[in-house]
Structure 1
Amino acid sequence: MAQQGFKLRILFVDDDAGLRETSALILKTFGHEVRTAEDGFQALVELRSVLPDLIVSDLRMPGMSGFELLSIVRQRFPHIPVIAISGEFFGTGITAPLADAFLLKGQYKPPDLASKIEELIGLSPLRPHLPKPHKAPVWIPINGKDYVVLTCPDCLRSFSEPRSESQGILEANCPACMTKVRYILDAISDSHH
């Protein structure tokens, strides 16, 4: 199912070797060329040799996390579509800075991933240059931890913030660029605990 007869180059990044290799084999059966990396550092090495048409990345990895990797990708290669996958976090407002799509690890099937890839490649390279969002995307731990991970809309770096019980628009300062980051913990955040 490679678009227009061309193989799509996909970079799949995950620290779980079994998942990484299985996913690569499955994506190859859909007609794609797949490279893999076990963390963000190895992914950056792969990006230096060949730029992929799309990146699929886990968020929680040792060394360089998916949050860090995807902020670099967005700044240096904004034209590359990205799918974030996580079994520890789920995203709200996920169509914002770091990823174009989000899949919950263990909750999607190979055809779901292949379909999402085809959809995103169909939009590329016509990625709209959207204005910066006025609220930050929020990544919420599934395991009930008492923090959230925010992505700064200005510098695209992610950082953790203690989870608040307050309602409405909340604010935090990005530790990297000191931008005041506004976010909302919406109703979906409580449904996954």
Structure 2
Amino acid sequence: MTHEGFKLRILFVDDDSALRETSGLILKSFGYDVRTAEDGFQALVELRSVLPDLIVSDLRMPNMSGFELLSIVRKRFPHIPVIAISGEFFGQGTTAPLADAFLMKGQYRPEQMAAKIVELIEESPLRPHVPKPDKAPVWVPVNGKGYFVLTCPACLRSFSEPRTELADAASEAECPACMTKVRYILDVHSCGHN
């Protein structure tokens, strides 16, 4: 896909080499200039050489996770749209502090990702400013582990919280990075993946 005469650049970040290669080829077939990285550290190296028009990143990766990478991207490059993908977590409620969109691995078709990319690119760089939500995004492990992950709307760091009884009411946790009191709702009806 081109925009004003040049190919749009996508950075695809995932530690699964087969998925990286396949996704890179699929995105190239849609007309994008694609760079790939195997973790957050390599993605930061790519960002130093060429800024992409959009980033697609896995959340669970060794060395530097997608949570860490996306918090850096949001702080340093807030104009770059981001799609988070995961097979281990699913985004519950708003994911805006870290990502503009979320796709569950193995549950989306290439055409769906391409359509989401077009949608986000068309909104960028004049995307509406998304105000900080009053409740933190909740990332729930698909495998039913005894924790879930919150993203602090203040400092954008993600941290785990022990899994307690699910409740539709707002709960509160303290961000270990900035000590902000973080409000969240762990929705009983959205947690059927466990």
Contact 1:13 1:56 in 2 (8 A): yes
- Measured after TM superposition, the shift of residue 128 of structure 1 is 1.8
- Measured after TM superposition, the shift of residue 166 of structure 1 is 4.6
The aligned residue for residue 140 of structure 1 is 140
The aligned residue for residue 81 of structure 2 is 81
Contact 2:138 2:148 in 1 (8 A): yes
Letter in 1 for 2:180: T
Q: Which moved more, 1:3-12 or 1:80-89?
A: 3-12
Deviation per CA, 1:2-22, whole angstroms, max 9, x where unpaired? 345431100000000000011
- Measured after TM superposition, the shift of residue 188 of structure 1 is 3.8
The aligned residue for residue 51 of structure 1 is 51
Give the number of equivalent residue pairs.
193
The aligned residue for residue 102 of structure 2 is 102
The aligned residue for residue 30 of structure 1 is 30
Contact 1:94 1:101 in 2 (8 A): no
The aligned residue for residue 192 of structure 1 is 193
Contact 2:150 2:159 in 1 (8 A): yes
Q: Which moved more, 1:106-115 or 1:162-171?
A: 162-171
CA–CA distance in 1 between the matches of 2:101 and 2:9?
A: 17
The aligned residue for residue 8 of structure 2 is 8
CA–CA distance in 2 between the matches of 1:170 and 1:57?
A: 28
Q: Which moved more, 1:1-10 or 1:47-56?
A: 1-10
Letter in 1 for 2:135: K
Task: Return 5+ residue gaps in structure 1 as ranges.
Answer: none
CA–CA distance in 1 between the matches of 2:3 and 2:188?
A: 38
Contact 1:74 1:97 in 2 (8 A): yes
The aligned residue for residue 172 of structure 1 is 173
SS at structure 2 position matched to 1:85: strand
Contact 2:173 2:181 in 1 (8 A): yes
SS at structure 2 position matched to 1:165: coil
SS at structure 2 position matched to 1:15: coil
TM-score, structure 1 normalization: 0.97
CA–CA distance in 2 between the matches of 1:149 and 1:189?
A: 15
Superposition CA RMSD, Å: 1.1
Letter in 2 for 1:24: G
- Measured after TM superposition, the shift of residue 33 of structure 1 is 0.2
The aligned residue for residue 41 of structure 1 is 41
Letter in 2 for 1:37: A
Letter in 2 for 1:176: A
CA–CA distance in 2 between the matches of 1:160 and 1:6?
A: 41
SS at structure 1 position matched to 2:7: coil
Taking only the aligned residue pairs, the percentage that are identical comes to: 79
The aligned residue for residue 131 of structure 2 is 131
CA–CA distance in 2 between the matches of 1:89 and 1:34?
A: 25
Deviation per CA, 1:3-60, whole angstroms, max 9, x where unpaired? 4543110000000000001100000000000000000000000000000000000000
The aligned residue for residue 69 of structure 1 is 69
SS at structure 2 position matched to 1:96: coil
Matched, 1:121 2:121: yes
Matched, 1:155 2:161: no
